[in-house]
Amino acid sequence: MREYFDIIVIGGGPAGLTAAIYARRAGKSVLVLEKASVGGQIAASPQVDNFPGCPGISGAELADRLYAQVEDLGGRMELEEALSVENGPVKTVTTDYGAYTCGALILATGMKHRSLGLDREETLPGVSFCAVCDGAFYKGKDAAVCGGGNTALQDALFLSDLCRHVTVIHRRGQLRGDPILAEAVKKRKNVTILLDTVVESLLGGEALTGLLLKNTVTGETRELAVDGLFQAVGQQPEGVLAQALGVANDAGFIPAGEDCLTPVPGVFAAGDCRVKEVRQLTTACADGAVAALAACKYCG
C-alpha cells in the first residue's frame, strides 16, 4: 500500500521548505521530494545578503537551517525525483524510487540553468554551471564567466579570489546585475569585462582550452584561452510536471496568482516556477507560506 500524506511538496528549495514548515505547524503530514540537493539552487550561493535578518549567510547554511526546521517539526524529506503525477481526489506521485499518495500537491519545482546551446557544453570537461562547486579546480588558472546578471557577477567575484584571471562575457552593451555588484567586479584588477560579445564555440579536445568569441556589433571573432567556463546566462522553469498536469503555459511557468491556486483542484504553485514579476528568496518563501495554508484549507 502506498504511503499517504496530507500534502506532498515537490521541490526542496526555499519555497518548498517554507511550505513544509507552515503545513507541519498546521498539523498536516508532509513529504518534500527533492531530486538534487536540499535548498535547491540557493545552496550553491557563497553569500546571501538580501534575506531579512541573515546578512552574510551562505546559501548552504540557509538551506540547512530551513531543512532542520522542517525536520524538527516532524516533516519528512526524500531525495527522489518526481517523475509523474496522477491527478484525482487522491493524487499519486511516482518517483525514481517508488510512489506516494496525497490529498494536496504543492509544485515548488523552481528553475534550472539555461544553456548556451553549444556543441559539447554538457560533456566537455572545463564547462560548469556552478562557480562555488567547481571554482577550486581553477585556482591559479584563467576562467571565463558568461552572463551579465547578479549570478554572473557573483561568480566573477568569487572566482577572482581563486583564479589568475577572470573574463566576464556578456552579450549586451551593459551589465544587468545590481550596480553594487557591477562596481565591485569592475574594481577587481584581475577581471576583464567583454560586452557585446557571445561565445560561438568551445575549443579543446579532451578538455576546454579556449573559447571562440564574436563581437555582436562589429562581427569580429577571436579566440580566448581559458581553462574553465562558468555559464550564468539565466534560468528556465522546471515545468515538465506542471505541463503534464495542464497547469503550465507554453514556457513552462505556472500562471497561478498571488493565492498560488492552479486550475486543478488540490494543486498549488509556489516559488520561481510561478508566473511573477519578482523572483527572490523572500518572494519564494512568501509563496510557500501562502500555498501551504491554501493546501491545508483544501485538505480540511
Does residue 122 form part of some domain?
Answer: no
223-251 confidence digits (pLDDT tens): 999 999 999 998 888 889 999 999 999 98
Rounded average pLDDT over 209-230: 97
Domain interval for residue 29: 3-113+235-299
Last residue of a domain, one of 208, 231, 254: 231
| Region 63-79 average pLDDT | 97
Residue 121 in any domain: the answer is no
> Of the ranges 42-46, 87-91, 97-101, 134-138, which one carries the lowest mean pLDDT score?
42-46
Identify the band that residue 71 occupies on the pLDDT scale cut at 50, 70 and 90. Answer: very high
Q: Which of 197, 212, 231 is the last residue of a domain?
A: 231
Active-site positions read 130, 133-134
Alpha-carbon distances of 164 from 122, 159, 188, 279, 298, rounded to whole Å: 25, 9, 12, 33, 56
Percent of the chain exceeding pLDDT 90 equals 80
Question: Residue 12 pLDDT > 80, yes or no?
Answer: yes
Distance (Å, rounded) from C-alpha 176 to C-alpha 148? 5
What's the structural domain count of the chain? 2
Closest C-alpha among 40, 41, 38, 62 to residue 50: 62
Distance, in Å, from the CA atom of 111 to the CA atom of 238, rounded to the nearest integer, reads 5
Mean pLDDT, rounded, of the chain: 94
- Cell numbers found for residue 76: 519528512
pLDDT above 90: residue 48: no
Pairwise pLDDT comparison (57 vs 192), residue with the higher score: 192
For the segment 259-294, what is each residue's pLDDT rounded down to a tens digit? 999 999 999 999 999 999 888 899 999 999 999 999
Q: What is the pTM of this model?
A: 0.75
For residue 39, the domain's CATH number is 3.50.50.60
Which one, of 142, 30, 92, 265, lies nearest residue 256 by Cα? Answer: 265
> Is there a single domain that holds both residue 162 and residue 240?
no
249 and 283 within one domain: yes
> Are 165 and 257 within one domain?
no
